[in-house]
A and B are shown apart, each in its own frame.
Chain A
Amino acid sequence: MGVSNSVVRVSSLTKRYGRATAIDDLTFSLDSGTLTGFLGPNGAGKSTTLRLLLGLAEPTAGEALVFGRRYRDLDDPASQVGAVLESNDFHPGRSGRDHLRALALAARIPRVRVEEVLEFVQLAKAADRLVGTYSLGMRQRLGLAAALLGDPELLILDEPANGLDPAGVHWLRTFMRRFASQGGTVLLASHVLAEVAQTVDRVLIIHCGRIVAAAGLGELAERGGTLEDAYLELTAMEAS
C-alpha cells in the first residue's frame, strides 16, 4: 500500500480510559477507491477507532489522519469526510429537512443540496415530518443523507444497514460499490458478516483493541473457508 495516497492513515494509535486500554497500538491505512469492512466483536474498539478518526475523541498516543491531517484540522471537513456513527443522532421533535438544513448551514453547503440528498435517499416526501415518527430504516437513510451533504470523498459508516429492509440493503450496497468505483473510499464497520462479504474488497478485523487481520477477501478465501470461519478463528484468540 502506498503511504502517500492514503486516505486514512492510522499509526500506533492508542486510547486508554483510566487503566482500561480500548485501542492498543493500532496501525492501518486505507487507499482511495477501496471499500473496507471493519469487523470485530462488541467492545473490540471499532467505535472508539472511528471516533478517534473523526476527532470526537483524542488519542492517548499515536495518530489518526484523514487526507494527511487530523480531522479537526481539515479546512472543509464535510466536503472530504462523511460519517454515520449512530442510527439515532436526531432530535425527535425536528423535521428531517431542518436537521439537514442546520448541518448544511454550519458546513456552508447550499440549501439546494439538502433537497438533492433527500431525493437521493428517498426521503423527500417524509422530509417535513418530525424524525420521531421515522422508522429505523428512515433514520439510517437520514443519517446517510447528512453524511453525503458535502459530497465527501471518504465515507465512515457504522452499521449503516441496521434497520434497512432488503431493498434498502441492496440499494445501500449498490451505492457503496458505485461510490468506491468512482474513486471514493468507504470504511464500513459492521457485525453482519454475510452482508460485508457481499460488499467489501478487504477487511480489517479488530479484537481487544488490536488489528488481528488486514487482508483482501480473496486472500482470506485462499486460506480456505468463508469470511465467517476466518473471523471466528481470529476473534476466538485471547488477547495477550
Chain B
Amino acid sequence: MTALLRSELLKQRSTRTNLWLFSAMLGLVALVILLHGFGLSAEILGRRTSQLEVLGQGQRLGTLFAALLGAMSITVEFRHGTIRPTFLATPRRGRVVAAKVGVSMLVGVPFGLMAAAVAAGVGSASLAARGLEIRLDGGDYALLLVGSAAGAGLWAAIGVGLGALVRNQVPTVVGICTWLLLVEGLLFGDIGLGNVGRFLPGSLAKAASGQDPMTLLAPGLAAVLLALYAAAAAAAGWAATTRRDVA
C-alpha cells in the first residue's frame, strides 16, 4: 500500500493541476475576505458572530477546493485514459481508490489549513485597518484553523468518492460547486430546513471550525459526522470502481 500511496502522490505532484487549484483558492480567499472586511458596515463587523463568519469564508473555500482536488484525482484519470494503465498496474482497483483517498486527504489538509490561515490573517488585518476591535480569542483562531484543516481533509475524501461514482469530470466538478456554494445554502438558509440542514456535509465542515455555534452542531460532533459522510462516500466509490467495467 505504501508503494501505491507514493505512486498516487507522484501523480498529484507531477502535474500543475494542484498548484493551480491552490493558487486559485488563496487568491479567492484573499479577495472574498477583503470584500467582506471592507464592504460590510462597521456596526456589523464589530460583532463577534460576524467576525467569525467573515473569517470562516476561508474554511468554505478550503473545503470546496479540497473536494475538487479529491474528485479530480480520479476523474482526470478517466478523462485522459490513464485509468487503464493505472488499473493494469494495480488490477485490484479498490486499492487504487483507497490510495487516492489517503493522498487526497493528505493534500487536502494543508489546503484547508492555508485557506483558513490566509483568511484569518487578511481578515484580522482588515478589521485592524478599520480600527475595529477584534472580538475573537486564540481559541477561536485555533478552532478555525484545525476545523478547516479537518473539514478539508474529509471533504477531499468525499470528492474522491464522488469522482469514482460519477467518473466524468465536468459534472463532478459542477456538482460539487453547486452543492457547496448553492444547494446547502438554500436548504439551510432560505428554505429553512435548519434542523436538517445542519446535518448536511457542508454545514458539518463549517461547524467543525466553530462557526455559527448557536445554530450548528458542536465542532467535535460535526467532525465525527463528517467523517462518517467521508467514509460512506469513499466506500461507495470503492464499490462502484470494483464492480464497473472500464471502457
Which interface residue of B16, B17, B82, B247 has the most chain A CB atoms within 10 A?
Answer: B82
- Cβ-defined contact, B76 with A91, below 8 A: yes
A92 at the interface (CB under 8 A from B): yes
Question: Binary interface profile of A, 85-129, with partner B (CB < 8 Å = 1, else 0)?
Answer: 110111111110011011101111000000000000000000000
Chain B residues with Cβ below 8 Å from A71 are: 91
- Cβ-defined contact, B87 with A90, below 8 A: no
B178 at the interface (CB under 8 A from A): no
How far is it, in angstroms, between the C-alpha of A184 and the C-alpha of B92 when the chains are bound?
Answer: 25
How far is it, in angstroms, between the C-alpha of A89 and the C-alpha of B11 when the chains are bound?
Answer: 14
- Cβ-defined contact, B84 with A102, below 8 A: no
Number of A positions contacting B (CB below 8 A): 33
A61 at the interface (CB under 8 A from B): no
CB within 8 Å: A-B pair count: 80
Chain A residues with Cβ below 8 Å from B85 are: 89, 103, 146
- Cβ-defined contact, A105 with B82, below 8 A: no
Residue of A with least CB distance to B17: A93
Chain A residues with Cβ below 8 Å from B82 are: 89-91, 99
Number of B positions contacting A (CB below 8 A): 27
Q: A49-57, A159-167, A171-179: which one contacts chain B?
A: A49-57
Residue of A with least CB distance to B13: A98
Residue of B with least CB distance to A55: B91
Other-chain contact of A105, B6, B16, B80, B92 (Cβ < 8 Å): B6
B181 at the interface (CB under 8 A from A): no
Known: A89-B81, A89-B82. A77 touches B89 (CB 8 A): yes
Chain A residues with Cβ below 8 Å from B76 are: 91
| Chain A interface (Cβ < 8 Å from any Cβ of B) | 51, 54-58, 71-72, 74, 77-78, 81, 83, 85-86, 88-95, 98-99, 101-103, 105-108, 146
Given contacts A74-B91, A90-B80, 20 further A-B contacts (CB under 8 A): A51-B247, A54-B91, A55-B87, A56-B246, A72-B92, A77-B89, A77-B91, A83-B88, A85-B84, A88-B80, A89-B80, A90-B82, A92-B80, A94-B14, A101-B10, A102-B8, A102-B14, A103-B89, A106-B86, A108-B3
